[in-house]
Amino acid sequence: QLSGQQKMSESPLSQFRGTNLPPGLHPLNKTLVKGSEWKDVDSTQEKRRSFLHDFCKKYNSRKKLQTHLVHLVSRIYVEDRHKVLYCEVPKAGCSNWKRVLMVLNGLAASAHNISHDDVHYGKHLRRLDSYDLKGIYTRLNTYTKTIFVRDPMERLVSAFRDKFEHPNSYYHPVFGKAIIKKYRLNANKEALKTGSGVKFKEFIQYLLDSHRPVGMDIHWEQVSKLCYPCLINYDFIGKFETLEEDANYFLRLVGAPAELKFPKFKDRHSSDERTSAEVVRQYLKELSKEERQLAYDFYYLDYLMFNYTSP
């Protein structure tokens, strides 16, 4: 399908193949932000942007990334009205972000009455890889691109708790069964049949196994491989740890309606304690020192890119 457009697409594609990325850091357009209440958030934002940019300059000179443009943008959601591109990082506020994009797009009046299933299975939002090359390239160059990230270990533990500690008709039979079969000695018939009850240590064994019995999943894939932050020059870097203030500042930047605020509610398992540093500590106790180190190594790039402190 792409071969006919090859000549036309050579320049956008070649820009995403070499080591000369990312292009210069564009200044954020702040003309729509009124008042001084966002001064601190803006200052933090500028530090994050320049930190990532400097990191990528160093990193890219050492490592050549060869990835096709269409694959690079497969996790990016498009909101054409306000010219927003949002790269989805699961377990970092992505459900509420998709709700907000639906409201911005005029698909819903409020973020509060959109169900979880509607958000994730409703096919209301377009992804950037659904456009032709010209459409992809134009949007990458002219829209405001944002990514929201989270401390890698918190994100990992949050994903484990969500997918394996609650009934789940996909993760238990697909991942749970394969994990229990490979990593649990003398597993009983019930566990092998249902895939329920995976232990965190078993999950980490699967994660670190170069011959995993079942593939990777976006909920625990590294952000560096989901959103390619050194190849796509994100304009705005939000963090889960400061989610509301970052998100609300971003909404002002892109000219969202004044009454639209980022939702505060927890999308699922709302009675569960949020995955905090203390919760993570309890889970990491189940691992050997070597496993903890290897899990950190697995997310090493994410720690570096977004300036998170090693656990």
pLDDT in tens, 9-45: 334 344 444 433 445 678 888 988 888 899 999 999 9
Query: Could you give the CA distance from residue 231 to residue 60 in angstroms, rounded to a whole number?
Result: 9
**If you write DSSP's letter for every residue of 253-271 in order, what string do you get?**
HTT--TT-----S-SS-TT
Q: DSSP letter at 2?
A: -
Task: Tell me the whole-structure pTM to 2 decimals.
Answer: 0.88
Whether 30 is in a domain gets the answer no
Name the residue with tokens 């979880």. Answer: 116
Treating both helix axes as pointing N-terminal to C-terminal, what angle do 152-164 and 200-208 enclose, rounded to 10 degrees? Answer: 120
Where in the sequence is the domain holding 145, given as residue range(s)?
A: 38-152+221-275+301-306
Q: First vs last Cα of the chain: how many Å apart?
A: 46
Beta-sheet pairing, 76-79 with 126-127: antiparallel
Task: Return the higher-pLDDT residue of 63 and 266.
Answer: 266
Whether 205 is in a domain gets the answer no
Position 67 scores a pLDDT of 66
| Phi-psi domain of 67 (left: phi exceeds 0; alpha: psi -120 through 50; beta: other) | beta
Position 8 scores a pLDDT of 39
Whether 178 is in a domain gets the answer no
Task: Return the higher-pLDDT residue of 114 and 287.
Answer: 287
Whether 139 is in a domain gets the answer yes
Predicted confidence band of residue 2 (pLDDT cuts 50, 70, 90): very low
Whether 20 is in a domain gets the answer no
Query: Could you give the CA distance from residue 196 to residue 166 in angstroms, rounded to a whole number?
Result: 9
Whether 204 is in a domain gets the answer no
Predicted confidence band of residue 64 (pLDDT cuts 50, 70, 90): low
Name the 3-class secondary structure at 214. coil
User: Which residues neighbour 293 within 8 Å (Cβ) at sequence distance 6 or greater?
Assistant: none
Work out the average pLDDT over 92-111: 90
Single-letter residue type at 145: K
Helices (H), 209-288: 223-226, 243-253, 277-284
Name the residue with tokens 């009934």. Answer: 167
Q: What is the mean pLDDT of the chain?
A: 88
Asked whether 41 and 245 are in contact (CB, 8 A), the reply is yes
- Which among 99, 51, 44, 46 is positioned nearest to 242, based on CA atoms? 44
Number of domains present in the structure of the chain: 1
Query: Could you give the CA distance from residue 145 to residue 77 in angstroms, rounded to a whole number?
Result: 10
User: Which residues neighbour 65 within 8 Å (Cβ) at sequence distance 6 or greater?
Assistant: 19, 228, 230, 231
- Asked if pLDDT for residue 164 goes beyond 60, the answer is yes
Q: How confident is the model over 77-96, as pLDDT tens digits?
A: 999 999 999 999 999 999 99
Whether 254 is in a domain gets the answer yes
Single-letter residue type at 250: F
Name the residue with tokens 């409201």. Answer: 103
User: Tokens in use for 277?
Assistant: 């540093």
Whether 236 is in a domain gets the answer yes
- Which among 270, 162, 268 is positioned nearest to 217, based on CA atoms? 162
Query: Could you give the CA distance from residue 144 to residue 43 in angstroms, rounded to a whole number?
Result: 18
